[in-house]
Amino acid sequence: MAQNQPFNLFNQSCWNCSTTSFPQDTTAVPPVSELLSDDEVIILSVVCALASVMGILGNFLVLLAVGKNQVLRTIPDLFITSLAISDFSVCGLFLPMSIYAFNHSENEIFAIVKSFLGHTSMVASATNMFAVTVDRVIAIRYPFKYVTVMTTRNTLVGMALVWIISLVFGVLYAPNLVSRMYIALYSAALLLTTMSMYIYIFIIAKRQENRIQNIQQGSNGSTAEKKVAKTIFTVVGIYGLFWLPVLMLPIIINPATEAVEFLKRFQWVQTMLACNSAINPYIYCMRSRKYRTAFCKILRIQRYVDRNLTEHSLTIRR
């Protein structure tokens, strides 16, 4: 058996901490199933199960709505679709595998597959949010160039790059080929950059709205762009809140001196971060009328659809 290596935070996976090894002269860290108490295992398993069911349903509705409705195939919606795919993989694959890890010992292949799915999906989520933010910056800052720059072809190329980057991260980090702290730094840097860009977006949008407030058509267009930006900003903001405990945990608990306690607490913050993938579809539903209408059509909630369409028709006539 290979000799255990010293614990090093920069060689740890935010999604696979159960594979951590320690020197033989220190206390061995048990598997996740033994690291947690029975009550903690039950609570985490129930949370993962609920998030998995909600996330599978919500993200599947997003994918189905985009597939069935031409109006949901704008450039921002394509990026949202890409985000829904990564969220669906977390809820449909990673969370069920986490439930298994809480209740059973993981073998090496299982741990690598779970780590690959977690890393790939996490990077895809952060990169998709960054991409859709760049799209909003161009739409609000350069509205007349937007149509020629953000074409469907260019958007699909951008989505392909997002997934290539994400898969590369997953392939490199799942089998411990390189330092895993870089994935956290990459995601944190993208998140901070995205939040900064949104501050810029709202400043520009407010200026443009003030300039064209007397032009009805221009004002409506500016308001629509701003509403889309607010919806995506809400998604990014909540994503940042879920990331905060992951980034703060090493500051609160030193992983070098309190490794067992760190890994135990990490199971909680990791689970909460993964559960974020179950929330995004419901943000779209609450914030966007077109998504609410599409979801209701799919779920055959006809009364709401008819009322929504009537209100929309009256708005157009006015």
- Helix, strand, or coil (residue 238): helix
- Give CA separation, 58 vs 76, 173, 258, in Å: 18, 29, 38
Cα–Cα distance for residue pair 100/132, rounded to 1 Å: 34
pTM above 0.85, yes or no: no
H/E element, 281 = helix 280-287
- Mean pLDDT (whole number) for 94-116: 87
Angle at 293 between CA 57 and CA 58, to 5 degrees: 10
Q: Is the model's pLDDT at 315 over the cut of 80?
A: no
pLDDT at 88: 93
Dihedral pair phi/psi, residue 198, rounded to 5° = -70, -35
Cα–Cα distance for residue pair 292/286, rounded to 1 Å: 7
pLDDT at 95: 93
Integer Rg of the chain from CA: 22
Cα–Cα distance for residue pair 273/253, rounded to 1 Å: 18
Q: Tell me: the pLDDT tens digits for 47-67?
A: 999 999 999 999 999 999 998
Q: Tell me: the pLDDT tens digits for 144-199?
A: 888 888 888 999 999 999 999 999 888 887 776 666 677 777 877 887 888 788 77
Q: Is the model's pLDDT at 18 over the cut of 90?
A: no
Nearest to 277 by CA among 64, 102, 117: 117
Domain 31-287 fold is Rhopdopsin 7-helix transmembrane proteins (1.20.1070)
108-141 vs 75-89: helix crossing angle, rounded to 10: 160
Residues contacting residue 149 through CB under 8 Å, at least 6 positions apart: 138, 142
More confidently predicted of 2 and 259: 259
| Average confidence score pLDDT of the chain | 76
Domain ranges in the chain are 31-287
Out of 183-192, 270-279, 293-302, the most confident range is: 270-279
289-298 vs 280-287: helix crossing angle, rounded to 10: 110
pLDDT at 9: 39
Cα–Cα distance for residue pair 248/252, rounded to 1 Å: 6
pLDDT at 160: 94
Cα–Cα distance for residue pair 120/87, rounded to 1 Å: 11
Instruction: Find out whether 22 and 4 touch, Cβ atoms under 8 Å.
Output: yes
- Give CA separation, 29 vs 9, 73, 179, 253, 266, in Å: 15, 49, 20, 16, 14
- Mean pLDDT (whole number) for 262-272: 86
H/E element, 248 = helix 216-252
Q: Give first-to-last CA distance, the chain, whole Å.
A: 77
Instruction: Find out whether 76 and 129 touch, Cβ atoms under 8 Å.
Output: no
Q: Is the model's pLDDT at 28 over the cut of 80?
A: no
Is residue 129 very low, low, confident or very high in pLDDT (cuts 50, 70, 90)? confident
Q: Where are the alpha helices (DSSP H) in 24-174?
A: 32-35, 38-68, 75-89, 95-103, 108-141, 146-149, 152-173
Cα–Cα distance for residue pair 291/285, rounded to 1 Å: 5
Neighbours of 68 (CB within 10 A): 11
Neighbours of 300 (CB within 10 A): 7
Neighbours of 168 (CB within 10 A): 13
Cα–Cα distance for residue pair 318/313, rounded to 1 Å: 9
- Mean pLDDT (whole number) for 190-215: 71
